[in-house]
Structure 1
């Protein structure tokens, strides 16, 4: 039971044979359609008799025009039915989609550092370092000396502010 794989030349040969057979079937089908159409036309549409006077020919033309009008009305009615059915089919398809809803795929949790994420986005050529603290400048803190007067008696400060308040009220 060893299975042998088909060679590419054999596969190509079989494909070409299948295509040749299918082309032959299509040609045969076309010939059958032409023959069926000729048989239908000869059965249902006999050749008009053109012998007779002017009034007889006018009568034949009127009959043919009446048949054409009848067929056009039937064609229009059938097209309207088809369009209505197509619209109903589209509405039903939309309802089916609405009822089924859109299923979201389950997302996988991926643990990835910022460095590996950026490498994945930008490619392996870009080396990105997410250690932002290394890029910061070092700043030395200076101790500010506050004046000792500000830490004095708070009542004097309030009285000074009260004078300013009176100044605004009088104006």
Structure 2
């Protein structure tokens, strides 16, 4: 294809359909090859049992088949145990790799958030917690002391009373 010319959509569609047809033929051929290989393997390793004979001979064939089945089951069990052991080792090694590499902590971002918003984020929207602690306080009215206005009176008289006290302490 030259640099200046682009492929038309109909040509592209036609080529795609040709590729898909070839791929489907290859898949069919592969299926047939697998089926033929399976037939050849079974013919080579599993000959047809000879079922002609009396009951004792048939019982002997059945016993041999059961022994073969038991042997295959034991091998399958052993292989499964090996696979499980290998899987466990793989998991342990993965954990060791993570431990050795260490977990990188992401850089924390500064977030401006009120205490109410933090509690709401932690506890969810079901729990509404109010951090306004003053709202729960009891209202108390300040009492003002009312001093008797009579006591104020003339300040000179008050000083004279104090002077009498001073004399009392001095004479003692």
- TM-score of the superposed pair, with normalisation by structure 1: 0.55
Counterparts in 2 of 1:1-171, with a 5 A limit? 2=3, 4-103=5-104
2:63 match: secondary structure? helix
CA distance in 2: counterparts of 1:12 and 1:106, whole angstroms: 50
Deviations 1:106-151 (A, max 9, x none): 7899xxxxxxxxxxxxxxxxxxxxxxxxxxxxxxxxxxxx9899xx
Report deviation, 1:3.
5.3
5+ residue gaps, structure 2, are 111-144, 149-172
Report deviation, 1:105.
6.5
CA distance in 1: counterparts of 2:100 and 2:14, whole angstroms: 49
Seen in structure 2, the aligned counterparts of structure 1 residues 96 and 9 have a Cα distance that, compared at 3 Å, is farther
Report deviation, 1:41.
0.6
Seen in structure 2, the aligned counterparts of structure 1 residues 66 and 92 have a Cα distance that, compared at 3 Å, is same
Seen in structure 2, the aligned counterparts of structure 1 residues 103 and 6 have a Cα distance that, compared at 3 Å, is farther
CA distance in 2: counterparts of 1:6 and 1:95, whole angstroms: 53
Seen in structure 2, the aligned counterparts of structure 1 residues 74 and 96 have a Cα distance that, compared at 3 Å, is same
Aligned positions, number: 118
Deviations 1:54-109 (A, max 9, x none): 11111111111101100111011111111211222222223223333344677899
Seen in structure 2, the aligned counterparts of structure 1 residues 78 and 104 have a Cα distance that, compared at 3 Å, is same
1:59 match: secondary structure? helix
- Superposed CA RMSD in Å reads 3.4
CA distance in 2: counterparts of 1:51 and 1:79, whole angstroms: 38
Seen in structure 2, the aligned counterparts of structure 1 residues 95 and 5 have a Cα distance that, compared at 3 Å, is farther
Seen in structure 2, the aligned counterparts of structure 1 residues 66 and 95 have a Cα distance that, compared at 3 Å, is same
CA distance in 1: counterparts of 2:28 and 2:35, whole angstroms: 11
The structure that has the greater radius of gyration is 2
